[in-house]
Structure 1
């Protein structure tokens, strides 16, 4: 049944339009119009905005039909948007400051491949938004969504550490330097105009707004888990409740900024496909750990990475920082003289991890089941040094890049990643088949003991199944071929031999007669036209 948004929606949207009008007119308009005329203009804008919002509210509705969310809108040109719930990557409940005054919330659906938020339902009651979110997540995942009381807290940020961490950012440290410069300029030239003072204050606010915004957005940050999804709560003025199913996580990045390495802090972010291309929204929505000690950050990252790989929050953690990585060859120092010792890549059956960075160190981990494509690129300087770069692309904005590998190693690594990503997708699509296979441990394809200049050479291909040129031997004298393990090939160039589908006995020659089913030839025939001995 079609439902409407909250009746106070036109008033809240009209107030937002008035706020935009105030910013557009600015204080110069107040001085030109005068207080009474300015208030009259603002009142007229408010009335028009509320009337327009009321008309939009009357023709807007939504309903859940099967496994789809349908949103109806438009007055003159009617439009119906149908959103398959299988494409939903995350569902957020956002409570702006003005909506919190009236006890309302906004429901946002992030859909893969969309350039913006699909079907933002603003505004609903807080209880109504939570109920609708639980229903949509249950239909999307096939598992009933747990209540908020059943959420187990996995991480909670220390707000005092969050304040200290934002003070140790380049933007915050630039403010005292700017104050010293402005004071020095004022001492040299004490004649200040209103425009100069306003420009200076605007510049300081523009520089300092990044750490202030992060404090406001990440205040009280908490991440919890239930039986179906990861739940993130954050925000001081604007409250945000984010729900992300584990299989929607495309990758993970752990960062160690230069000024945070002395106190031993790090931060982590996840990449969700639905948030790609949002700019500031992506920066705000992808936070996993705003700031925490390195050990705690890696613990949370390992827990979320294990849930992303196995598509369940109860999966064992995967510590990407503990994987052995291999460095590029020594000739890569000509292209990255400072970062050469920090570049490395590691590959397992489930994920690929890349580390790099000098001033700001990073670790990027991507589950192989989320890999969309693997590319090998080579610039002119890399061709001169016989180097190449391997790109691992996902559906989101985060990509793992193994830079400055030897050319032969790069193509071998690309083949390996393509093969193992296919195997990971098959195992995720057919879990029963993967459980039937023997679970033998597989070493990393690029072990830490491998020299940096070359990978192990690919294994030779098996010989083609063609009849021999000379006389053949008896079938009983041919040993059965050794069968490889049940899993995918363990090396970049290994190809498992095809199953033996040849006849029971090889032909003895062009004109040889077939052997009766209950007889076996004694010895090979002396010539190509000889018939087998009579019974």
Structure 2
């Protein structure tokens, strides 16, 4: 007679979690009320309204904390939440793509951390556990990776006290970005270049605006800061960037006001993109990012909380070394790339000489871009589908574009290839993807 598998007791989040959630709600409340509300009702009523809304947020946070818990059942992480409408999320650990230990500023002050899980097909973070002690968060991260098969089985066993679990190994250091290079790189951005113009615009408001009210000044400064302070946010996000190789995964640690430690199994990396911004090319710098299934941010989105950083800034030698760590055997400086036919200039007269695509033994690579150049490398084992697309102008010129899709959503596209070459390339990619899938 078989006995049912013992179930772990349900764990609660840290008791200080409601207070931290309420502090985050305070920022949202003030932002929602806006400067115009302050100007209409006055400072006293504004403060009273914020206080009432904040107390309501505290009560809701406490009630939510009492009804939130998590535990591991077999190879699933189950999260229970809700008061009137109870909800249980069961997350199969086989779908786990990456795990992050995030520490916002308030969490750092209270010794807490947030655990974020990214899973296959997720458009956002699937299971944010906020907040746990740092020791508990690290122990749970390592245990989840171990159960998912991404780490050795030397971690805490089911039912063990996670508070005394052994900390995760730091792994083999790969590269550390100097903060000086990070600062200089963000000075060489369009936002920093236009910073003096933004300051001049604010000063012009002071000099020529008929009304010098506090609301007008605050609104102008707020709107300007949203654009000109973007490089500052990037510096804060990537401060003290450290990359390490841990077992069969890469771990990136970075951040000043909010520290992040992201662990991504190498088998979950769908593609690696090398980017050469225009102003960085004078110093021979580049940046690398990785596409991981579960992250839905677009490649153009360089705002906060990006979780695909692989190298914020570095030279050619460093970039090649980091790429080799993630995609062994791949040297992006020596990939066999061939340009599209000369007649493709009718579609891309300026960028056509810079386009390229090619097959290496390990990856399919595509080069593109004019002002900001980039190269995307996709391992054959990560290819989900291959498409040949032909627009009306391409049909007139006998051209086609070969698209390669991955689970990460980014993929790669070899633009404006000769039609016969495009079909041959698509057939070869399909065959290599199938062979790589069987070899896994």
Settle same-fold status: TM greater than 0.5: yes
2:389 paired with 1:377: yes
Residue in 1 aligned with 2:415? 403
SS in 1 for 2:240: coil
Select the residue among 319, 328, 340 that pairs with 1:297: 319
Select the residue among 55, 59, 79 that pairs with 1:51: 59
Distance apart, 1:83 and its partner CA: 0.5
Select the residue among 319, 330, 336 that pairs with 1:318: 330
**Cα RMSD between the aligned structures?**
2.2
CA contact (8 A) 1:13 1:53 kept: yes
- Residues 100/383 of structure 1: CA separation in 2 closer, same or farther (3 Å cut): same
- Residues 19/254 of structure 1: CA separation in 2 closer, same or farther (3 Å cut): same
Residue in 1 aligned with 2:32? 24
CA contact (8 A) 1:145 1:228 kept: no
Instruction: Compare CA radii of gyration and give the structure with the larger one.
Output: 1
Deviations 1:406-448, CA, capped at 9 Å, x for gaps:
00000000000000110011111xxxxxxxxxxxxxxxxxxxx
Distance apart, 1:337 and its partner CA: 1.5
Unaligned runs of 5+ in 2: 1-8, 156-166
Q: How does 1:114-513 map to 2 (within 5 A)?
A: 114-141=122-149, 143-144=152-153, 147-180=167-200, 189=208, 191=210, 193-194=212-213, 197-277=217-297, 284-306=306-328, 317-428=329-440
SS in 1 for 2:374: strand
Deviations 1:215-244, CA, capped at 9 Å, x for gaps:
110011111012131111011001111010
CA contact (8 A) 1:145 1:227 kept: no
CA contact (8 A) 2:385 2:405 kept: yes
CA contact (8 A) 2:202 2:221 kept: no
Residue in 2 aligned with 1:310? none
Unaligned runs of 5+ in 1: 307-316, 429-535
CA contact (8 A) 1:175 1:204 kept: no
- Residues 25/145 of structure 1: CA separation in 2 closer, same or farther (3 Å cut): farther
CA contact (8 A) 2:240 2:255 kept: yes
TM-score (structure 1 length as normaliser): 0.74
Distance apart, 1:19 and its partner CA: 2.6
Which fold has the larger relative contact order, with Cα–Cα distance below 8 Å and residues 6 or more apart in sequence? 2
336-345 vs 38-47, which deviates more? 38-47
Deviations 1:325-384, CA, capped at 9 Å, x for gaps:
111111111111111211111113321011122211111100000000000011111111
Distance apart, 1:153 and its partner CA: 1.1
Higher strand share: 2
State how far apart, in whole Å, the 2-side matches of 1:58 and 1:334 are.
64
CA contact (8 A) 2:233 2:304 kept: no
SS in 2 for 1:118: coil
State how far apart, in whole Å, the 2-side matches of 1:343 and 1:46 are.
54
- Residues 179/19 of structure 1: CA separation in 2 closer, same or farther (3 Å cut): closer
Distance apart, 1:144 and its partner CA: 2.8
**How many residue pairs were aligned?**
417
TM-score (structure 2 length as normaliser): 0.89
State how far apart, in whole Å, the 1-side matches of 2:354 and 2:137 are.
46
Runs of 4+ in structure 1 over 2 Å off: 22-48, 142-150, 177-187, 189-200, 277-283
State how far apart, in whole Å, the 2-side matches of 1:153 and 1:49 are.
42
State how far apart, in whole Å, the 2-side matches of 1:408 and 1:29 are.
63
